[in-house]
């Protein structure tokens, strides 16, 4: 999710003169917020079914290495999931620690790495979508330009991302993705994700791309919509009350805090 | 003999004979078919049961190379980290196993297995295929809600359930409502236990089934290049000796070994049935050949060689064997379908292992083997009579009176009796001294000897009875009785054949009845004697095999507050815990009781080495002491006063053996222990049942109603009265032997066919004699009555001898072979109710078999009859 969320940030130089990798470096800079807190609503469903809505708060902070993030989500509604928490600690090894807190059992459970390419808690997003992608994890190829979906006056660069190695491929579960990067903020506004057998799997649309940190030129897509092209399952994610000014302690991203329910 | 002549001989003689006597050929064919059918049915059931077990074990193990477990009580979840940190481990995923029952469960089929797994870790070991795109629609809700459960599609269909259905299941917290949040396709793990399973998240399963902070098993996958053996050694080193670390293949083998003894009994019965079938083939051929003596003589006189005669009969029987065996395979497949539920229910009762045979395994290999075996056995059965017939000189064959009582025949008959007697002597020694354990060939020969010996020696006993009847009835004014008795004595060979045909079937019936009666009476007596408590409180399920959901010990307090429940003293409870336990790979049982007084106030436990009031308290000194069953002591070569090392979740503990006891809960052995020690070493506070007595002045029904009202629904417990408990026991035993009724029926059918066949032949043989009787004034009715009377007498005397010999061999089997195989000391009980039943059945079978020949005999034309031969 937030790979995509934070990919959608940046606005700056014209992209046509830049290589695909240079554009993606800019993309990472635009979406990488050192710290933020936001409220979010996650809606999942399938055509013909009544959608399920979950309300949660998300906290994200860049780790001291300046590259990897720590993310904590705490669910508020519906009642069945209230106080559940998910802590994602990205690691340099690429194998993220994903911990889930279940308040009814007062227990923390670990999500095994093999499962991280799978669905994130029943949504169309995967765990690896939730964690942020890093420039070095992919190889890039410019496929051309197309009018941007969000603003047809702008020309988006179409880039193909392929995992840099097998380990990344296994972790993310995609064989490749094609993204459309806006020239004004370097944020991704569309993305197509392909299965390991080459079939189109998911389609993402990012809208409401807003600047959240004027000083550091950081952007966030406040509305994300992703559809599974095979099952027609969909997930929508809306952010609100994004706050980048809060002083968030590192202690928030610990197991002890994960099981602390206010 | 010219080339092609052999074919012509079969075409014009053999085939013509079969066409002329289609009924008789059909009877012989059916005899082979029924013998093979039972053999095939048991073989199919045995194979399918083994495969179902293996498939369940492999399906649950998934991709795991090794499974770590520590018995029913499980082990601390802290061990998971130790396992994961053991060098060579790639993945290690935990599991909780539990058994639950649907609301209002009455039988085993109302139960299901619960696998509590870590769904966030599972994919490395087990895969699940959802009927929908995802196994769980909403994992956040699923994982956080203890009522979340995933059913297999198979089970959901069976119970009319779907996603989001609510279902009530018994748990250690009482009857709880679960929500089905996913359905699994019948693939991978969902195929285990025939699909009678449900998946829960591990934490939910722990909470619902009283296994907080525990694990029942951990399935591991080694890193590439690490062998199972290396990993097993490392794990054993990290965890200690009291953990079982086995591959799925070894687990399957262990389970198959457990079943082996049981399947041996089934195979024993089916082999006997097959032998009976083959014996009948031999008998039919012998009689048929005797009848065709003249035809043989003619052919021999026309130049047919002995070889061609043998070939003729062998070819005929080859065809009958082939058709009979093929038919037997078809009947056997159908029979297996009918019997498999009864057999698996019986196995489940005895081994406390759920086996769901969803498909019968009947491979081409098995079909070819059965047909080849049946055909060959028929040919072998026919070979010796054929050889004997071919050896007769043509002149001798062409003599008018085919049935001559030559001195040679007399001698042969005597030899047969002696041989039969010797075979029975051999059977006696082989079974009592257990020769079968030295070589399986002896075991098979003993089975053959018991049938053949009885068949050869039995007619001698029948003749003694006939002679006795003749002496008793010499003054009778009914000439037909005299004539019939004289006929039976005069036509010794014919009578022998008829009696043998009937007797072997009844012999088998009586033998099975003896085994059943002995088991039934021994277990019932034991149980009636020991269980004296008024009421038992347990969760729904089948209490008798401890196949119930365990309950919480806190319930005791609430039970004791109920008016009418006899107080038990402040220092004690009356809870019991019964769990299966593996000792050196053998499945045993542990029985733990709260107080030594349970051994005589609630149960009259049969302690063998002294006064139970003195021995039982030794379990409650705080020391690790045990009382073991005699079967444990015998099989494990232990004595009272010695120590026995038991693996417990707290380590290997040396328990001192302070007594021996009679208990049939497990053939391998039962370990009695104080519940205090059980809780201490096994760390399992759950309870299988509470035992209570009713205070004088209160009625049983009043107390039961109050228990139901106060705690019944709350904890999902039911009350079982003393009488009901005993009734359950009775039913469990009946269920265990239900399948033997089918074997008895087949044996009787084989006997009926055999007798019908031989009687028909004997009427034909006696055509001239009957014609003469008619010529001297005997009416049709008198002839018909004479044949029926002869048949009746053969039925009565054959049945009496079958009862004597069947119960004798059954006694040997019960007291020796079964004791060696099962390890239980079963007392011989004469199946009194089966005696009348067998006698009546024998008479009815004989009468049915006699009707057709009697009518045929009565309807013979006098002139044609006199021209016969």
Evaluate if residue B567 carries a pLDDT over 50: yes
A/B interface, count of CB pairs below 8 Å: 63
Instruction: Assess contact for A90 and A83: CB atoms under 8 A.
Output: no
Average pLDDT over residues A44-73: 87
Residue A13, pLDDT score: 42
Q: How many domains does chain A have?
A: 1
User: CATH number of the domain that A104 lies in?
Assistant: 2.50.20.10
Average pLDDT over residues B596-607: 81
Evaluate if residue B328 carries a pLDDT over 70: yes
Q: Which range in A91-100, A129-138, B98-107, B647-656 is most confidently predicted, on average pLDDT?
A: B647-656
Residue B647 binned pLDDT confidence (cut-offs 50, 70, 90)? confident
Evaluate if residue A111 carries a pLDDT over 50: yes
Instruction: Assess contact for B375 and B318: CB atoms under 8 A.
Output: yes
Which chain A residues contact residue B143 at CB under 8 A? 100, 102, 109
Domain that residue A156 falls in: 2-258
Quote the percentage of chain B above a pLDDT of 70.
87
- CB neighbour list of residue B203: distance below 8 Å, 6 or more residues apart: A102, A105, A107, A109, B116, B143, B146
Q: Residue count of chain A, please give it.
A: 262
Indicate the helix (H) or strand (E) that contains B522. helix B492-530
> What pTM does this model have?
0.69
Distance from CA of A57 to the nearest CA of B (A): 15
Which chain A residues contact residue B133 at CB under 8 A? 230-231, 233
Which residue in B401, B298, B434, B356 sits closest to B111, CA to CA?
A: B356
Q: Give pLDDT tens digits for B495-529.
A: 877 787 778 778 888 888 888 888 888 888 887 77
Best B63, B90, B139, B140 member to test A by mutation, with max A CBs in 10 Å, is B140
Average pLDDT over residues A209-229: 91
Q: Tokens standing for B706?
A: 């109050």
B20 contacts chain A (CB < 8 A)? no
Residue A7, pLDDT score: 43
Evaluate if residue B21 carries a pLDDT over 60: yes
Q: Give pLDDT tens digits for B619-638.
A: 999 899 999 998 889 888 89
Q: Could you give the angle at which helices B248-291 and B306-351 cross, rounded to 10 degrees?
A: 140
Residue keyed to tokens 């993204």:
A179
Best A42, A55, A81, A126 member to test B by mutation, with max B CBs in 10 Å, is A81
Average pLDDT over residues A196-225: 91
Residue B422, pLDDT score: 94
Contact between B136 and A122 using a beta-carbon 8 Å cutoff: yes
When mean pLDDT is compared across A141-155, B41-55, B288-302, the lowest value belongs to: B288-302
ipTM greater than cut 0.85:
no
Instruction: Assess contact for B792 and B480: CB atoms under 8 A.
Output: no
Instruction: Assess contact for B620 and B613: CB atoms under 8 A.
Output: no
Whole-Å CA distances, B71 to B96, B228, B490, B629, B684: 12, 21, 69, 20, 11
Average pLDDT over residues B692-706: 89
Residues of B (121-140) whose Cβ lies below 8 Å from A: 121, 123-124, 133-134, 136-140
Which chain B residues contact residue A80 at CB under 8 A? 140-141, 144-145
Q: Give pLDDT tens digits for A154-173.
A: 999 999 999 988 888 877 88
Evaluate if residue B439 carries a pLDDT over 60: yes
When mean pLDDT is compared across B81-85, B178-182, B222-226, B837-841, the lowest value belongs to: B837-841
Q: Could you give the angle at which helices B492-530 and B248-291 cross, rounded to 10 degrees?
A: 150
Average pLDDT over residues B423-452: 82
State whether residue A56 is helix, strand or coil: strand
When mean pLDDT is compared across A89-93, A258-262, B210-214, B678-682, the lowest value belongs to: A258-262
Peptide bond between residue B124 and the one before it cis (omega within 30 degrees of 0): no
Find the residue in B nearest to A232 (Cα): B133
Distance from CA of A185 to the nearest CA of B (A): 35
When mean pLDDT is compared across A241-250, B215-224, B493-502, B674-683, the lowest value belongs to: B493-502
Q: Which range in B17-31, B267-281, B383-397, B509-523 is most confidently predicted, on average pLDDT?
A: B509-523
Contact between A80 and B137 using a beta-carbon 8 Å cutoff: no
Q: Residue count of chain B, please give it.
A: 869
Distance from CA of A35 to the nearest CA of B (A): 26
Q: Give pLDDT tens digits for A133-151.
A: 788 889 999 999 999 998 8
**Residue predicted with more confidence, B298 or B736:** B298
- CB neighbour list of residue B39: distance below 8 Å, 6 or more residues apart: B270, B271, B273, B274, B328, B332, B370
Residue keyed to tokens 């620690």:
A97
Q: Tokens standing for B364?
A: 């081409």
Report the distance separating Cα A18 and Cα A28, nearest Å. 15
Which chain B residues contact residue A119 at CB under 8 A? 134, 139
Residue A122, pLDDT score: 77
Report the distance separating Cα A30 and Cα A15, nearest Å. 14
Evaluate if residue B428 carries a pLDDT over 70: yes
Q: Give pLDDT tens digits for B115-172.
A: 999 888 877 788 777 766 566 777 888 888 889 999 999 899 988 998 889 999 888 8
Instruction: Assess contact for B593 and B674: CB atoms under 8 A.
Output: yes
pLDDT, averaged across chain B = 81
């Amino acid at each position: 999710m937030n790979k995509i969320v934070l990919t959608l940030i940046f606005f700056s130089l014209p992209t046509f003169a830049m290589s695909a990798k240079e554009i993606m470096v800019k993309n990472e800079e635009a979406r990488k917020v050192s710290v933020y807190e936001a409220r979010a609503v996650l809606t999942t469903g399938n055509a013909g079914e009544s959608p399920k809505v979950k309300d949660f708060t998300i906290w994200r902070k860049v780790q001291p290495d300046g590259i990897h993030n720590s993310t904590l989500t705490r669910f508020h509604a519906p009642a069945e999931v209230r106080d559940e928490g998910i802590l994602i600690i990205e690691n340099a090894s690429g194998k993220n620690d994903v911990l889930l807190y279940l308040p009814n059992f007062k227990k923390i459970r670990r999500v095994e790495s093999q499962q991280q390419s799978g669905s994130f808690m029943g949504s169309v997003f995967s765990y690896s979508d939730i964690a942020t992608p890093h420039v070095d994890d992919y190889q890039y190829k410019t496929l051309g330009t197309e009018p941007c979906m969000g603003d047809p006056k702008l020309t988006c660069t179409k880039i193909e991302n392929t995992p840099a190695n097998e380990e990344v491929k296994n972790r993310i579960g995609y064989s490749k993705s094609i993204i459309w990067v806006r020239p004004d903020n370097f944020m991704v506004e569309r993305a197509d994700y392909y299965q390991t057998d080459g079939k189109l799997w998911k389609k993402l649309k990012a809208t409401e791309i807003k600047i959240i940190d004027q000083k550091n030129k950081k952007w966030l897509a406040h509305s994300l919509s992703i559809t599974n092209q095979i099952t027609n399952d969909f997930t929508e994610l809306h952010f609100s009350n994004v706050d980048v000014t809060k002083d968030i302690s590192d202690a928030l991203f610990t197991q002890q805090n994960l099981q602390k329910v206010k | 003999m010219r080339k092609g002549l052999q074919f012509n001989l079969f075409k014009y003689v053999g085939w013509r004979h079969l066409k002329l006597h289609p009924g008789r050929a059909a009877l012989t064919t059916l005899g082979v078919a029924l013998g093979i059918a039972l053999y095939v049915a048991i073989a199919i059931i045995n194979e399918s049961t083994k495969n179902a077990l293996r498939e369940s074990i492999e399906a649950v193990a998934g991709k795991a190379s090794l499974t770590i477990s520590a018995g029913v009580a499980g082990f601390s979840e802290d061990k998971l980290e130790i396992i994961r940190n053991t060098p060579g481990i790639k993945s290690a995923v935990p599991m909780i196993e539990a058994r639950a029952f649907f609301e209002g469960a009455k039988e085993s089929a109302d139960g299901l297995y619960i696998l509590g797994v870590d769904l966030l870790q599972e994919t490395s070991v087990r895969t699940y295929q959802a009927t929908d795109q995802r196994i769980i629609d909403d994992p956040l809700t699923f994982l956080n809600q203890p009522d979340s459960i995933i059913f297999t599609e198979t089970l959901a269909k069976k119970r009319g359930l779907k996603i989001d259905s609510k279902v009530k299941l018994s748990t250690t917290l009482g009857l709880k409502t679960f929500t089905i949040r996913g359905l699994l396709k019948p693939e991978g793990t969902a195929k285990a236990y025939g699909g009678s399973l449900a998946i829960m998240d591990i934490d939910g399963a722990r909470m619902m089934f009283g296994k907080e902070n525990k694990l029942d098993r951990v399935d591991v996958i080694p890193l590439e290049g690490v062998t199972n053996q290396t990993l097993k050694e490392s794990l054993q080193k990290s965890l200690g000796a009291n953990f079982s670390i086995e591959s799925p293949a070894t687990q399957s083998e262990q389970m198959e070994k457990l079943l082996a003894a049981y399947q041996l009994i089934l195979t024993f019965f089916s082999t006997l049935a097959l032998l009976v079938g083959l014996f009948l083939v031999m008998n039919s051929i012998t009689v048929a050949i005797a009848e065709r003596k003249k035809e043989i003589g003619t052919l021999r006189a026309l130049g047919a060689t002995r070889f061609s005669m043998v070939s003729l009969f062998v070819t005929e029987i080859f065809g009958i064997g082939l058709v009979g065996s093929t038919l037997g395979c078809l009947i056997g497949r159908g029979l297996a379908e009918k019997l498999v539920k009864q057999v698996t229910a019986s196995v489940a009762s005895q081994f406390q292992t759920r086996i769901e045979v969803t498909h019968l395994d009947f491979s081409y290999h098995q079909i070819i083997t059965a047909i080849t075996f049946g055909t060959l056995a028929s040919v072998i059965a026919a070979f010796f009579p054929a050889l004997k017939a071919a050896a007769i000189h043509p002149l001798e064959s062409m003599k008018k009176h085919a049935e001559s009582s030559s001195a040679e025949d007399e001698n042969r008959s005597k030899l047969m009796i002696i041989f039969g007697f010797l075979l029975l002597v051999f059977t006696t020694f082989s079974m009592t001294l257990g020769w079968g354990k030295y070589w399986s060939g002896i075991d098979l020969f003993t089975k053959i000897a018991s049938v053949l010996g009885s068949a050869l020696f039995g007619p001698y006993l029948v003749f003694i009875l006939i002679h006795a009847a003749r002496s008793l009835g010499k003054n009778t004014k009914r000439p037909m009785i005299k004539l019939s008795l004289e006929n039976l004595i005069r036509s010794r060979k014919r009578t022998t054949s008829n009696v043998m045909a009937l007797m072997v079937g009844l012999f088998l019936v009586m033998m099975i009845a003896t085994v059943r009666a002995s088991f039934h009476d021994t277990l019932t007596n034991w149980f009636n004697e020991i269980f004296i408590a008024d009421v038992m409180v347990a969760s729904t399920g089948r209490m008798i095999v401890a196949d119930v959901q365990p309950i919480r010990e806190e319930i005791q307090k609430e039970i004791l507050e109920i008016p009418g429940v006899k107080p038990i003293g402040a220092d004690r409870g009356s809870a019991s815990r019964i769990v299966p336990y593996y000792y050196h790979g053998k499945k045993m049982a542990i029985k733990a009781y709260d107080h030594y007084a349970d051994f005589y106030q609630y149960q009259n436990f049969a302690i063998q080495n002294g006064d139970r009031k003195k021995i039982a308290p030794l379990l409650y000194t705080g020391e690790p002491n045990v009382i073991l069953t005699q079967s444990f002591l015998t099989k494990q070569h232990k004595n009272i006063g010695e120590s026995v090392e038991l693996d417990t979740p707290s380590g290997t503990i040396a328990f001192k053996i302070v007594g021996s006891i009679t208990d049939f809960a497990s053939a391998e052995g039962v370990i009695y222990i104080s519940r205090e020690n059980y809780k201490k070493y096994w760390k399992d506070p759950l309870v299988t049942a509470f035992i209570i007595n009713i205070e004088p002045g209160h009625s049983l029904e009043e107390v039961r109603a109050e228990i139901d009202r106060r705690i019944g629904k709350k904890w999902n417990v039911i009350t079982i009265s003393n009488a009901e408990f005993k009734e359950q026991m009775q039913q469990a035993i009946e269920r265990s032997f239900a399948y033997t009724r089918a074997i008895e029926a087949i044996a009787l059918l084989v006997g009926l066919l055999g007798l019908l066949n031989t009687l028909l032949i004997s009427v034909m043989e006696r055509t001239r004699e009957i014609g003469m009787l008619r010529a001297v004034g005997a009416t049709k009715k008198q002839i018909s009555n004479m044949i029926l009377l002869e048949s009746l007498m053969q039925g009565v005397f054959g049945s009496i001898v079958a009862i004597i010999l069947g119960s004798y061999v059954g006694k040997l089997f019960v007291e020796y072979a079964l004791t060696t195989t099962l390890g239980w000391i079963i007392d011989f009980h004469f199946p009194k109710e089966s005696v009348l039943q067998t006698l009546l059945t024998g008479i009815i079978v004989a009468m049915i078999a006699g009707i057709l020949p009697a009518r045929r005999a009565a309807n013979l034309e006098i002139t044609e009859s006199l021209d016969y031969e």
